[in-house]
Structure 1
Amino acid sequence: MDSQLVKALKFKMQPVAVILTNDKPAEGLHFKEGSMNGCVAAMLTAVSRKNRLGYFDRNSFGCPGGGTGLGFGDRYGRFPIDCLLSTGNREAAAMMGSAGAIMAEGERFYKSPELARKWVNTLPFTDVPAEYVVFKPWALLTEQDEPALIIFFANADQLSALIVLSDYNRGTNQSITAPFGAACQSILFGYAEAEKDQPRGVIGFFDIAQRLAVDRETLSFTVPYKMFREMEASVPGSFLETHAWQKIQERL
């Protein structure tokens, strides 16, 4: 799909569209049914780099955080996410076998399980009205596709442009948000923004456990599709056509 915005920002990793559908893709990357070992964030970056479609359903979303991030409801259930994100749980780790190494000590993103649970309670859980969540790389996107979200992978220069352009036609200085969550959970925050009259762009990929999935200078920027269209329409006449941006383009 043609885009002045994508051309102007010269992304190293191509953007990925999140599409909700009841039609199972004929082919694409996907996790084994019932497996908890898959990482949605890793799938997201693989789709971008390999130029291949990826898809998920309620029986194949990998870890509980991934299922939650994709919009398949609260998938944590009895999983001790509050312990994993904080000081760990050795009893739970022992029950998980080799997969429980990180659980034993915890990821220490929060000082205590109580604070981690407080964070969990802030999540905008949702259950998407579709059987499948599809990741489609930009190069495969067509005008007939109807994405829910567009996810950009941006360095500091590109992120600066996305942030400025997000408020170009508004003047509110309230057009972005940067919540903490699992690397894939910017998708969940993006769904919540899509319900608003003036949705915000979601800066993400702050998850220390998954930072190695992208280059050190890369963050994600997730926007509802209607916000992407707003930003795309704002390109003509904006700073992206000025000498200042052209000089920055030279180092992208």
Structure 2
Amino acid sequence: MTDLMQHTRALLEDLGHDEEPVGIHYTDAEPAEGFAPKPGVPFNAEMEARNEIDWKGLWGNFSCVLGKVWLARRRKKPASFDAVRYGCVGASFFLGFHKPQIRFLDHYISMGIPDVTPGERYLPSPASVRRFFETIDPRPAPARFCVIKPLSLFAEGETPELVSFFVRGEVLGGLCQLAVFATDDIDVVAMPFGSGCSNLVTWPLRYPEMGRPRAVIGGSDPSCRKFMAADELIFTVPLGLYRTMLAARPASFLATETWAGVRTKIRRSREVWEKKKE
């Protein structure tokens, strides 16, 4: 991890970005500190079919993955999730803790159920939502915990599967361009439909299973925007692709005068947003 952080710091310097990325991995070791949702009530598709789910309890301890990641980013501590402390019914599916997804979500993400719940209206029908669930097909969690934490907190012997940057437009453009340069693939960056956590974790893991590792842009889900800064989006890559980007960095456009001009805009943007925090 020492070598990875050294190269990451060089990339951050070239980009003109002031926040280190987070790393994501699955582990059986529970973090000694950090942020995790409260324990949730049991649920699964079989319980739903038998009408045995405590719906009030299910939503009573709701906690968004991006909310816990926000705290992890700001306070430099891990955020962790597991099959008991899942926080969100959708996230429990996307992080690989509960499959298949319950049918209620087919309606909730689409047009709702009259006199029961309004829909988010993110997809046009329950059938559309079910096709999405079947397509994204989250990998079953390979260990007890999904841990998301600043990359510098990874100890020797720990390896992230994914690396995620939280960025605004100019830096996002730089990361996208570097991914293309590093891979010689003009279609290496994807922005698929999904929740905040699915684009942070599930899609970046899914594309390699489909035979094509890709960088994934996330954060467009309206429901997760409250846990992100204005104009901020997420850029996530599998570790192998990230290492390829790091190796290509010295020869890339990041050393050109063109990028130096963009870095000036990045600095001005940061100054504007810092003033808005005052």
Range 67-76 or range 184-193, more displaced: 67-76
Amino acid at match of 1:220: I
1: CA distance, partners of 2:208 / 2:20: 22
Identity of counterpart residues, as a percentage? 31
> Are 1:109 and 2:133 matched, yes or no?
no
State whether residues 72 and 127 of structure 1, in contact with CA within 8 Å, keep that contact through their aligned partners in structure 2. Answer: yes
2: CA distance, partners of 1:37 / 1:10: 36
- SS in structure 2 at match of 1:236: helix
> Are 1:81 and 2:105 matched, yes or no?
yes
Q: Deviations over 1:108-146 (max 9, x none)?
A: 112222222222222222112111111111342345430
- SS in structure 2 at match of 1:5: helix
1:59 shift after superposition: 0.9
> Are 1:248 and 2:257 matched, yes or no?
no
1:202 shift after superposition: 0.6
- Cα 1:196–1:75 change in 2 (3 A) is closer
1:73 shift after superposition: 4.3
- SS in structure 1 at match of 2:13: helix
8, 15, 19: which one aligns with 1:9: 15
1:242 shift after superposition: 0.9
122, 136, 157: which one aligns with 2:135: 122
Amino acid at match of 1:47: A
1:197 shift after superposition: 5.9
The residue that corresponds to 1:155 in the other structure is: 168
1:60-71 to 2 correspondences below 5 Å: 60-71=85-96
2: CA distance, partners of 1:201 / 1:144: 25
- SS in structure 2 at match of 1:8: helix
The residue that corresponds to 1:52 in the other structure is: 77
The residue that corresponds to 2:50 in the other structure is: none
Q: Deviations over 1:51-110 (max 9, x none)?
A: 1111111111111111122232426234x111111111145x4xxxxxxxxxx2211112
Amino acid at match of 1:241: A
The residue that corresponds to 1:206 in the other structure is: 220
Flag structure 1 segments of 5+ consecutive residues without an equivalent: 94-103
The residue that corresponds to 1:169 in the other structure is: 182
1:217 shift after superposition: 1.4
State whether residues 85 and 109 of structure 1, in contact with CA within 8 Å, keep that contact through their aligned partners in structure 2. Answer: yes
1:181-220 to 2 correspondences below 5 Å: 181-186=194-199, 187-195=201-209, 198-220=212-234
Amino acid at match of 2:262: I
Range 147-156 or range 211-220, more displaced: 211-220
2: CA distance, partners of 1:230 / 1:28: 31
TM-score of the pair, normalised by structure 1: 0.87
- SS in structure 2 at match of 1:130: coil
Q: How many pairs align?
A: 240
Range 110-119 or range 174-183, more displaced: 110-119
- Cα 1:11–1:48 change in 2 (3 A) is farther
The residue that corresponds to 1:146 in the other structure is: 159
2: CA distance, partners of 1:250 / 1:191: 34
State whether residues 56 and 132 of structure 1, in contact with CA within 8 Å, keep that contact through their aligned partners in structure 2. Answer: yes
State whether residues 154 and 220 of structure 1, in contact with CA within 8 Å, keep that contact through their aligned partners in structure 2. Answer: yes
Higher helix share: 2
The residue that corresponds to 1:97 in the other structure is: none
